[in-house]
Structure 1
Amino acid sequence: MSLTKQECEAFWSKADKNGDGKLTIQELDQGLRSILPPGKGPSSKDVVYMFSAVDKDGDKTITKKEFFDEMEKPPRRKALEETFKRYDKDNSGTLTRDEIEAVVRDSGSFSKGCDVKKVADAIMEEADTSGDGAIDLKEFLKVVS
């Protein structure tokens, strides 16, 4: 997850009910439920997972530093945009079929020996919604996000 510093501060002030500078799992759960529409909050299992991921020292509390360190991580979108730019060899703002093949070949997500051309064809068919024979950043993000 990625939040701005202001969003982190706003959440923290709501969630840290007793003002001790730490969040318990109950405070995290109540804080999340206070900012999300009714029925849209995380499950208890999700809260436990989130809490465990942020409580780096395992002391059963989340410090403000742990919270801010986790929430201010660069968003996934930025990493995907960097991937797009890395494979856009001609800086055209689009990925050609050949460039998509390079993404497939370099990806650890596909098993060794897959038919790169078939996978690239399938990606092109799904992602190239404009029908111009290339995938722009918006189309790329829609498929990989």
Structure 2
Amino acid sequence: MRRVKAYPVYFIKNDTGYTVFNEAIGMVSEGRDLEDAIYSSKDAIELLAYDFLIDGRDFPEPENCLGTDEKYDFINYVVCDLERYFRLDNDNKVKKNCTIPESLAKAGESRGLNFSKILTYALEKELNLA
């Protein structure tokens, strides 16, 4: 399941390109041209969403991120995959020890279950990522 959402971002044109921001989520980025500014703001929002996810915090919804007191030249929306960096980081595996009832361990082993795969799925489901 992917959580793809469109976030508002505010653009300020300057001598070197664009500054892009959204105060509500604490995102500031820049780009040398419009395409670069849009891409960098998308990337910045996805990285922020990753940090929130790792810290166990809910990332703000787009409708709660609209509005600013700052002056800007125009507003646009960027479409962000809020779990992109989580999936990219998922290639690195870590070993975790866990304790389960012996009867479950024996039953699982007799059926050839992959305990790591099951635990990964259960954690993804608990974190609303599956």
TM-score of the aligned structures, taking structure 1 as reference length: 0.27
Which of structures 1 and 2 has the larger relative contact order (alpha carbons within 8 angstroms, sep 6+)? 2
Q: Which structure shows the bigger proportion of residues in strand conformation?
A: 2
TM-score of the aligned structures, taking structure 2 as reference length: 0.29
Q: Which structure shows the bigger proportion of residues in helix conformation?
A: 1
